[in-house]
């Protein structure tokens, strides 16, 4: 259900807490729009089927890589400060601009600086309307005007973000036919909500999805989401003073925790978004060189590359595994798995069962099909044995 009724009941108030950024005097219920976007990214809900302007086709495997994105600028009061911070940290980011913000030479200079410093200049439409609700002609002009502004600045228009992530299938098709990659986000920092409240308070009435513990903590809220997803595309707005204020601390925390920064055009992090084949998904039993390669979605941080030298061999090999007690996950198209001990009974590790998928272990270098006992640990799993691919 969309909640637009208050706009009709209270037209005088709509320009205050409910209207979106931009200056066309349009009525968009920002709270409803961002809450719908959140529901699409977090809960997998989309009332438009596969035409969400928010959902990014790459859902995992970010390996601690973060793409910072800044929408709704340029704003001469804040965007230069954002650029200063990014420059200090050597970070390449993406700026989704609104053409209506480019009013004169001051803004054009900012666009030139965005490009000169290596960032991506991207299209966020002219006037920040809800493009799901405009005519085909209006949609075309909203896209084209900012397209022209990017070209004039010397940029290459390639990425488009729908205001509020709000798209219809027809609008999506129009934008893609123009050659754009529609780019949503994985993490909404909700800086727009924190910017609205007194003292940086993001009210439940403005954005209900922020947990109470983070109602005054833009940095904490953003980090909690980045940690949960192990990276991804993060939505900010370079038009808010509180975003500028929090950014240095947030970046320092990300750096301390081992995150690195990429553009939305990074094919290793976002292959599907950029239209390249994703790397093969490794799983328990697959050959690997390092832990990061085994970062499969179902087990993220816990997955590891078990390195070993096969008996009598003068080389090392590796296979992906997971800590376990009693049970292990399976993945469609891969060998079934089994929890065993690889260290004489101290800890459990998932290994592949001998199976036609792995040619009865022949496809897993350095292993042979061996009967092994289940590692039970503290679990309530029953004792069992299975024919598994054990390192030799």
The region of 67-75, 129-137, 270-278, 357-365 touching Zn ion under the rule CB under 5 A is 67-75
* Residue 72 interacts with Zn ion (CB under 5 A): yes or no: yes
Mark whether 84 is an active-site residue: no
For residue 252, what are the contacts with CB-CB under 8 A and spacing of at least 6?
A: none
- Of the pair 114, 284, the CB lying nearest Zn ion is at 114
- Of the pair 97, 247, the CB lying nearest Zn ion is at 97
Q: What are phi and psi of 108, to 5 degrees?
A: -65, -35
246, exposed or middle or buried, with CB in 10 Å at 0-12, 13-18, 19+? buried
The region of 22-30, 54-62, 112-120, 158-166 touching Zn ion under the rule CB under 5 A is 158-166
Beta carbon of residue 26, minimum distance to Zn ion (angstroms, whole number)? 13
Distance CA 351, CA 365 (A): 13
Q: For residues 191-220, which are near Zn ion according to CB under 5 A?
A: none
Beta carbon of residue 319, minimum distance to Zn ion (angstroms, whole number)? 45
Beta carbon of residue 142, minimum distance to Zn ion (angstroms, whole number)? 12
Task: Name the closest residue to Zn ion (Cβ).
Answer: 71
Task: Catalytic residue, from 119, 147, 237, 306: name it.
Answer: 237
Return the HEC string of 150-165. Answer: HHHHCCCCCEECCHHH
Mark whether 23 is an active-site residue: no
Dihedral through CA 202, CA 207, CA 213, CA 219, nearest 10?
-60
The 3-state DSSP class for residue 126 equals: coil
Beta carbon of residue 94, minimum distance to Zn ion (angstroms, whole number)? 13
Measured from the Cβ of residue 371, the count of other Cβ atoms closer than 10 Å reads: 10
- Of the pair 71, 130, the CB lying nearest Zn ion is at 71
Task: Catalytic residue, from 29, 71, 188, 265: name it.
Answer: 71
Question: Does residue 361 contact residue 354 with C-beta atoms inside 8 Å?
Answer: yes
- Of the pair 163, 285, the CB lying nearest Zn ion is at 163
Distance CA 128, CA 130 (A): 7
Question: Does residue 188 contact residue 38 with C-beta atoms inside 8 Å?
Answer: yes
Beta carbon of residue 368, minimum distance to Zn ion (angstroms, whole number)? 57
Question: Does residue 386 contact residue 361 with C-beta atoms inside 8 Å?
Answer: no
Evaluate the CA torsion angle 170, 172, 173, 175 in order and state its sign.
Answer: positive
E strand intervals along the chain: 65-71, 94-97, 120-123, 159-160, 181-182, 187-188, 231-237, 260-261, 304-308, 317-321, 337-340, 349-352, 367-373, 385-391
- Of the pair 163, 263, the CB lying nearest Zn ion is at 163
- Of the pair 218, 284, the CB lying nearest Zn ion is at 218
* Residue 286 interacts with Zn ion (CB under 5 A): yes or no: no
Beta carbon of residue 266, minimum distance to Zn ion (angstroms, whole number)? 22
* Residue 71 interacts with Zn ion (CB under 5 A): yes or no: yes
Which residues are known catalytic residues? Answer: 71, 237
> Which residues of the chain form contacts with Zn ion (CB under 5 A)?
71-72, 163
């Amino acid at each position: 259900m969309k909640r637009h009724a208050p706009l009709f009941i209270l037209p005088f108030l709509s320009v205050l807490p409910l209207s979106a950024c931009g200056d066309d005097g349009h009525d968009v219920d920002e709270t409803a729009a961002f809450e719908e976007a959140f529901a699409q990214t977090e809960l997998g809900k989309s009332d438009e089927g596969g035409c969400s302007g928010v959902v990014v086709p790459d859902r995992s495997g970010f390996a601690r890589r973060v793409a910072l994105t800044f929408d709704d600028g340029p704003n001469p009061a804040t965007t230069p400060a954002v650029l200063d911070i990014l420059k200090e940290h050597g970070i390449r980011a993406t700026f989704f601009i609104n053409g209506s913000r480019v009013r004169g030479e001051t803004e054009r200079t900012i666009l030139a600086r965005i490009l000169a410093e290596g960032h991506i200049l991207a299209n966020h439409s002219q006037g920040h309307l809800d493009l799901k609700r405009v005519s085909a002609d209006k949609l075309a002009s909203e896209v084209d005007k900012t397209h022209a502004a990017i070209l004039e600045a010397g940029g290459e228009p390639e990425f488009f973000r729908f205001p509020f992530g709000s798209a219809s299938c027809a609008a999506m098709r129009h934008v893609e036919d123009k050659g754009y990659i529609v780019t949503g986000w994985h993490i909404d920092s909700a800086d727009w909500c924190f910017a609205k409240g007194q003292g940086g308070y993001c009210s439940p009435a403005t954005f209900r999805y922020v947990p109470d513990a983070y109602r005054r903590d833009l940095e904490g809220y953003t980090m909690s989401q980045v940690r949960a997803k192990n990276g991804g595309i993060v939505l900010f707005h370079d038009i808010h003073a509180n975003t500028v204020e929090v950014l240095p601390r947030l970046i320092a925390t990300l750096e301390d925790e081992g995150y690195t920064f990429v553009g939305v055009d990074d094919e290793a992090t976002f292959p599907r978004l950029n239209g390249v084949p994703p790397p093969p998904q490794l799983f328990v039993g697959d050959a690997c060189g390092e832990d990061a390669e085994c970062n499969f979605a179902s087990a993220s941080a816990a997955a590891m590359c078990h390195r070993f030298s096969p008996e009598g061999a003068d080389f090392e090999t590796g296979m992906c595994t997971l800590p376990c007690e009693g049970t292990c996950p399976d993945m469609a198209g891969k060998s079934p798995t089994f929890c065993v001990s690889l260290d004489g009974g101290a800890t459990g590790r998932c290994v592949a069962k001998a199976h036609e998928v792995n040619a009865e272990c022949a496809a897993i270098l350095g292993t042979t099909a061996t009967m092994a006992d289940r590692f039970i640990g503290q679990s309530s799993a029953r004792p069992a044995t299975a024919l598994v691919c054990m390192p030799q």
